[in-house]
Structure 1
């Protein structure tokens, strides 16, 4: 059985992190890049957001009897799409997020401040779509 409280707690974290990311995204590019703390904060909030997303996905899959789909980040994205928790398009985007999460964790030295700025100014809607889909799922 899905622990809705666990899921809700992670959704609250995601929303909190999203607010911080939106605040950083409201800066113009030069202002964002001129202060190293901005990129560091964006990286941290983005990584933590992705961890919470995949915690939710792993939990839902494991508790729904799809343990084999809950072990790797990309398989979590695929599994959520396969069982209809999220649509196929969002599933593909979530798989890309899984790859980016791995870059944040393992190849952090290759991520530029400009890249982070571009992500937080253009890709947060995908995270918001995930939150909406999960809220809809747990309310049923």
Structure 2
């Protein structure tokens, strides 16, 4: 179950990054330097507020840990993220769609 939770979290984070990269490319915004910077580029274009962007950037960094040093992931931290932070995906989609609809 833990491996599945890690996998689905990776997929969710990568999907958010991919959506942002599509918007960045389509609108010819500055290319991000890394996954975390993808969200910073979007903030610079007023897609996301600064505080929420910080959470998204942490999410991207956590994705890197899940992918590259998965054996060192604290299971308690993973559980906390799954319990407290999954709503960030809904907020991400809401903010993105509102900005794209304008």
Q: TM-score scaled by structure 2?
A: 0.91
The 8 Å contact of residues 39 and 117 in structure 1, kept in 2 or not, is answered as: no
- Per the alignment, residue 86 of structure 2 pairs with 124
- Per the alignment, residue 82 of structure 1 pairs with 44
- The runs of at least 4 aligned residues of structure 1 exceeding 3 Å deviation read none
Query: How much has 1:117 moved relative to structure 2?
Result: 0.9
Question: Is it true that 1:72 corresponds to 2:5 in the alignment?
Answer: no
- Per the alignment, residue 57 of structure 1 pairs with 20
Question: Superposition RMSD on alpha carbons, in Å?
Answer: 1.3
Q: Match of 2:31, SS? A: helix
In 2: Cα distance, 1:59 partner to 1:90 partner: 20
Deviations 1:83-138 (A, max 9, x none): 10111111111111111010011010101322211110011122221011112122
Question: Is it true that 1:43 corresponds to 2:6 in the alignment?
Answer: yes
The 8 Å contact of residues 30 and 41 in structure 2, kept in 1 or not, is answered as: no
- Per the alignment, residue 68 of structure 2 pairs with 106
Which one has the largest radius of gyration? 1
In 1: Cα distance, 2:14 partner to 2:76 partner: 22
Q: TM-score scaled by structure 1?
A: 0.68
Structure 1, gaps ≥5 residues long: 1-37
